[in-house]
Amino acid sequence: RNEVSEVRLRLKRHESDMKSAPEAVSRLFRTVGVVGAGQMGSGIAEVAALANLEVVMVDKTDQALASGLQTIRESLERFVEKKALSNEQAQEAIRRIRVTTHLKEMADRDFVIEAIGEDEELKRTIFNKLDRITPKHAILATNTSALSITRIAGATKRPEKVLGVHFLNPPAIVKLVEITKGMGTDYDTYHATKELVESMGKVTCTSADRPGFIINRILMPMINEAFFVLMEGVSSAEEIDLGLQLGTNLPLGPLSLADFLGLDVCLSTLQSIHKGTGDSKYRPCPLLVQHVDAGKLGRKTGCGVYTYFTSGEKE
């Protein structure tokens, strides 16, 4: 009985901590910066704004920023249509997002997350600039899904305040966020970031700084093998997806998922893991490479493994 009482007491304390966490986090992080207004950057900005944080989203061009804001508006409208948000909540979220083409606007941010493409040198350049622009207390995060956090942090003079915060696509829908600690990431940075992400309504998992981290280290080889099976004529794309979807209870087959993620993204992630591990089991399938070389990148180009209508539905 004493043991049961102790467990119940701990659960009550945990529930109390969870209820007070958003308020504590809001005092620590009031302002968030997002570098990149693409699919991931705009999605992360949306999630942060819905968590009552003031957001600045930066990109190189006004066109990219306008496109990012439109993506956010369309996503919020869908939530309103589904009765998940009120129209007032959606409008308030939009008002919390400010856009700019000037990286120097990150000068007052408490937390900045970079969400550009998987180009390590460009990320290092951005982090070097952010290190000089942002306050000394600011945490700098990258949304990379495979690149070394330690190498990116090496471009700054604050490696202890750098870590990976990998939102999955689409950020507003997928519940999980993968947090990766670099070699220099300190305890306070990790735990403050974890609390911030959880205050946004997300669930976190934590990875060491290894190529592909957790999710892509497992997911990308499955997608790659599906391309090998297709290339070798073992079965059709439809049958491969059907088998995996129903046979393993996946919401989407691996080839359909690859089209959704972008075949270029899948290829670059596999190349990064292959280079980082030196293991031939991560060698990209030649058929995947051919699709990317042909510009058949999936849903975003209207053609990948499958062909798509403008609505995004398969032909």
Q: Which residues are catalytic?
A: 145, 166, 178, 216
- Tokens at residue 161, please? 């305040």
SS (H, E, C) 116-175: CCCCHHHHHHHHHHHHHHCCCCCEEEECCCCCCHHHHHCCCCCHHHEEEEEECCCCCCCC
CB count in 10 Å sphere of residue 241: 24
Residue 245 phi/psi, 5-degree rounding, is: -65, -50
Phi-psi category of 36—alpha, beta or left, where left has phi over 0 and alpha has psi -120 to 50? Answer: left
CB count in 10 Å sphere of residue 18: 11
Q: Could you tell me which of 143, 168, 122 has the C-alpha nearest to residue 261? A: 168
DSSP state letter for 309: -
Q: Label the pairing between strands 111-114 and 139-142.
A: parallel
H or E, element range at 296? none
State the Cα–Cα distance between residues 291 and 224, nearest whole angstrom: 13
- Rg of the chain over CA atoms, in angstroms? 21
> Measuring CA to CA, how many Å separate 85 from each of 44, 70, 91, 104?
17, 17, 10, 33
User: Could you give the strand order of the β-sheet that contains 111-114, starting from the edge strand earlier in sequence?
Assistant: 97-100, 54-58, 31-35, 111-114, 139-142, 162-167, 176-181, 203-208
b/e sequence 291-314, b meaning 16+ C-beta within 10 Å:
bbeeebbbbbeebbbbebeeeeee
